[in-house]
Amino acid sequence: MSSATDSRAGTQRAVVGAGKRRAVVGAIAAAGLASAALLSAQGQLTLPGLESLELLGRFFSHALRPALDYGSPFVPVGAPPLLLQVATATWRTVQLAVAAMSLAVPVALLLGFAGASAWWRLPGPGGRAVLRRLGPLVYAPARVVMTLARSVHELLWALLFLAAVGLSDTAAVLAIAIPYAGTLGKVFSEMIDEAPRDAAVQLTGSGATAAQAFSLALLPRALPDMAAYTFYRFECALRSAAVLGFFGPETLGKFIRLAWNESLYAELWTYLYALFALIAVSDMASRALRQRFLGETPAR
């Protein structure tokens, strides 16, 4: 019976597979060493001197003693209490992230749908042949737009906006929304294309049009993963919003930078903990919601 040959071929394939994986791991390790070599050749991998380590030590020693009130004597009259300022900065971070995502997600859904090929590659009679022919036309432009949008880091978008029209609140939202729409769109289109098609094929075999099969049998299978990835991206948006504060908007990053420049480490740790709490809450919430969706953990 060919089962013996099959299992032998199977084992051979497994061995080859393990060999390929080992090759990949080896290549990664080699690349790592090469990078280290290059950087030290450029003179960039110097070990820190004693004073640097002292500075770090001082910084980390404040980790367990975050400030609850201003440490600096130069606080302007009428300034709000420190914790209130922390809360406001946290809220502004959330606000920026939410506004950016609320733009990015709808755009990403459109782009992702346009950049997916599953809906016009489904076998079966097309209810509206027009839509079918539209598919390949929008596919390439959608992918190009998404790629352009996401190849430029949000900080660089912010820089471009800053130089062009100044970094107003709207510009800050756009600086995050544009690359995020590109990334979300690309991931959405991949998830749509990789969703299992067995149900859709069954439906078209029983007389459904491609549009019907797609909307009822393909899309619902991709949606849980898409939702899970959106939650993950929101967490990233919170971080990006915080960092954008380095450039002007009143988010946590701005105050962290100011605190560091004035060596107010205790205050700095207060802001860091606020950021930490923000991420932790968002993480817990998204995990609880993801359990409902039974989605996979995204890694991108």
Partner 1 sequence: MVGPSGAGKTTLLRSCNGTVPAAAGGVAINGRLLSDVGERELRRTRSELAFIPQDLALVPELRVVANVLAGGFGRGGLLTALRALLKPRRADTQRAFELLQRVGVGDKLYQRSDKLSGGEQQRVAVARALFAGPRLLLADEPVASVDPERARDTLELLLDLAREQGFALLVSLHNLELARGLFGRLLGLRRGRLLFDCAPAELGDDELEALYALDPSEDEQRD
Partner 2 sequence: MKTSVDELRRTRPRSRLLRAAAWAVAALVVFSWMSGDFGLEQLGGERRLANLERFTGELRPWPVQQQGGFDAGSTADWRTVYDWAAALMADGGSKALASTAAIAVLASVLAALVGYLACWPAARNVARPAPFFGGPAVAGQRRRLRLAHWAWSALNHSVRAVLLFARAVPEYLWAFLLVESLGYTALPAVLALALHNAGILGRLGAETVENMPPAAARALAAAGASRSQTAAAVFPSLLPRLLLYFFYRWETCVREATVLGMLGVLSLGSLIRDARAGNLYDELFFYVLLGALMVLAGDLLSALARGLVRRA
Q: Which of residues 153-212 bind partner 2 (CB under 8 A)?
A: 153, 155-156, 159-160, 163-166, 168-171, 173
**What is the rounded CA–CA span in Å between residue 138 and residue 7?**
45
Residue 216 touches which of partner 2, partner 1, none (Cβ within 5-8 Å per kind) = partner 1
In the block, which residue shows the tokens 């100011």? 258
128 binds, among partner 1, partner 2, none (CB under 5 to 8 A by kind): partner 1
For partner 2, the binding residues in 89-128 under the rule CB under 8 A are: 94-96, 98-99, 102
Task: Map the footprint of partner 1 across residues 124-163, applying CB under 8 A.
Answer: 124-128
Backbone φ and ψ of 43, nearest 5°:
75, 25
What does the per-residue mask of binding to partner 1 show for 184-223, with x meaning CB under 8 A? --------------xx-xxxxxxxxx-xxx-xxx--xx-x
Measured distance CA(165)–CA(171) in Å, rounded: 8
User: How many residues belong to the site for partner 2 (CB under 8 A)?
Assistant: 77
Q: Build a one-symbol-per-residue string for 235-274: x at contacts with partner 1 by CB under 8 A, - elsewhere.
A: ----------------------------------------
| Residues in region 221-260 near partner 2 by CB under 8 A | 239-240, 242-243, 246, 253, 256-257, 260
Closest CA to 189 of 158, 229, 159: 229
Answer with the entry of partner 2, partner 1, none that 206 interacts with (C-beta below 5 to 8 A by kind).
partner 1
